[in-house]
DNA sequence: CACAGGATATACT
DNA sequence: GTATATCCTGTGA
């Protein structure tokens, strides 16, 4: 499976299917273990009310980045998915750090591996992603996406940090991963 | 564990 | 103009 093939699916298929892939930026990154799907017609999605200056990338080509400022402090990065031209995306929430740990420690200012990429704001800081990367093509350098070699077990849970459509189980995580931003809800 | 401070772009009235 | 946002961190129990 190539990245281009993965992107042909729905936003939910992309979200579930991208778990276990390795994302590198300039050779720094790790395995994707946690994402959230923001679908067409989803009230929690930035694209819900149509295209604006901020979310323009979400209506652009699939496989590019949508990067935006969150709470005035953090950057959050999404993989743009196409859903009938309406704008959809997969929010990158956590990586299992595998490449360039030292570089990520420098950028994050913390030594604890568990805190390098566990959370959308931490992940972008560790990879050095900012507004400059909004709209960037993930299939070209400095970006690299490698498919997993062995099968990945994916679980669905509810999304985090949103105020609408809170019950939708559109957060996808690797089962039993210890690198998530939050533990799976009990039960 | 709970809580609140931080700091800014954007959307909406 | 005002409110709110796909959050992180430090502090005090």
CATH number for the domain spanning A152: value is: 3.10.300.10
Asked whether residue A186, judged by its CB, lies under 7 Å from any atom of the DNA or RNA strand B, the reply is no
- So what's the pLDDT on residue A44? 93
- So what's the pLDDT on residue A82? 82
pLDDT in tens, A168-187: 999 999 999 999 997 654 43
In a domain, A55, yes or no: yes
**What is each CA distance from A32 to A41, A50, A179, A187, in whole angstroms?**
25, 28, 10, 24
d(C-alpha A121, C-alpha A172), whole Å? 17
Pairing type for strands A171-174 and A28-38 reads antiparallel
Which nucleotide's C1' is closest to A78 (Cα)? Answer: C6
Domain count, chain A: 1
Asked whether residue A55, judged by its CB, lies under 7 Å from any atom of the DNA or RNA strand B, the reply is yes
Tokens of A163: 């105020």
Top-confidence residue, A86 or A80: A80
pLDDT in tens, A124-138: 999 999 999 999 999
In a domain, A109, yes or no: yes
- So what's the pLDDT on residue A183? 67
Cα A116 from chain centroid (whole Å): 15
In a domain, A110, yes or no: yes
Task: Give me the mean pLDDT over the A43-53 stretch.
Answer: 91
Which structural domain range is residue A91 located in?
Answer: 3-174
In a domain, A180, yes or no: no
In a domain, A186, yes or no: no
Which nucleotide's C1' is closest to A70 (Cα)? Answer: C5
**Residue A81 pLDDT greater than 90, yes or no:** yes
**Residue A141 pLDDT greater than 60, yes or no:** yes
CB A94 within 8 A of CB A123: yes
In a domain, A76, yes or no: yes
CB A42 within 8 A of CB A15: no
Residue nearest to nucleotide B8 (CA to C1'): A72
Averaged confidence pLDDT in chain A: 93
* Cβ within 7 A of any strand C atom: A 36, 38, 44-46, 66, 68, 70-74, 76, 78, 89, 91, 108, 110, 115, 119-122, 160-164, 181
Residue nearest to nucleotide B11 (CA to C1'): A52
In a domain, A18, yes or no: yes
- So what's the pLDDT on residue A118? 95
Tell me which long-range contacts A166-169 makes (C-beta under 8 A, separation of at least 24).
A166/A44, A168/A42, A168/A44
d(C-alpha A170, C-alpha A57), whole Å? 21
- So what's the pLDDT on residue A184? 55
Count of CB atoms situated within 10 Å of the CB of A110? 14
End-to-end CA distance of chain A: 33
H-state helical runs in chain A: 3-6, 11-17, 101-108, 120-127
Distance A166 CA to B13 C1' (A): 26
Asked whether residue A71, judged by its CB, lies under 7 Å from any atom of the DNA or RNA strand B, the reply is yes
Top-confidence residue, A82 or A122: A122
Distance A13 CA to C13 C1' (A): 44
In a domain, A184, yes or no: no
Candidates A36, A38, A23; CA nearest to A117 is A23
* CA Rg value for chain A: 15
Which nucleotide's C1' is closest to A134 (Cα)? Answer: B9
Q: Which string of b and e fits A153-180 if b means at least 16 CB within 10 Å? A: ebeebebebbeebeebebbbbbeebebb
pLDDT in tens, A5-37: 999 999 999 999 999 999 999 999 999 999 999
- So what's the pLDDT on residue A182? 79
**Residue A39 pLDDT greater than 80, yes or no:** yes
């Amino acid at each position: 499976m190539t990245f281009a093939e993965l992107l042909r699916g729905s936003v939910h298929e992309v979200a579930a299917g991208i778990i276990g892939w390795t994302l590198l930026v300039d050779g720094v990154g790790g395995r994707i273990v946690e994402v959230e799907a923001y679908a067409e017609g989803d009230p929690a999605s930035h694209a819900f009310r149509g295209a604006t200056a901020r979310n323009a990338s979400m209506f652009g080509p699939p496989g590019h980045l949508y990067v935006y400022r969150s709470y005035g402090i953090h950057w959050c990065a999404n993989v743009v998915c196409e859903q009938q031209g309406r704008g959809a995306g997969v929010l990158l929430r956590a990586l299992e750090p595998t490449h360039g740990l030292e570089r990520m420690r420098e950028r994050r200012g913390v030594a604890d591996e568990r805190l390098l990429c566990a959370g959308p704001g931490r992940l972008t800081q560790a990879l050095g992603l900012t507004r400059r990367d909004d709209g960037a093509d993930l299939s070209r350098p400095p970006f690299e996406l490698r498919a997993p070699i062995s099968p990945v077990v994916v679980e669905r849970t509810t999304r985090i940090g949103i105020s609408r459509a809170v019950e939708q189980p559109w957060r996808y995580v690797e089962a039993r991963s210890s690198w998530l931003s939050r533990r799976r809800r009990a039960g």
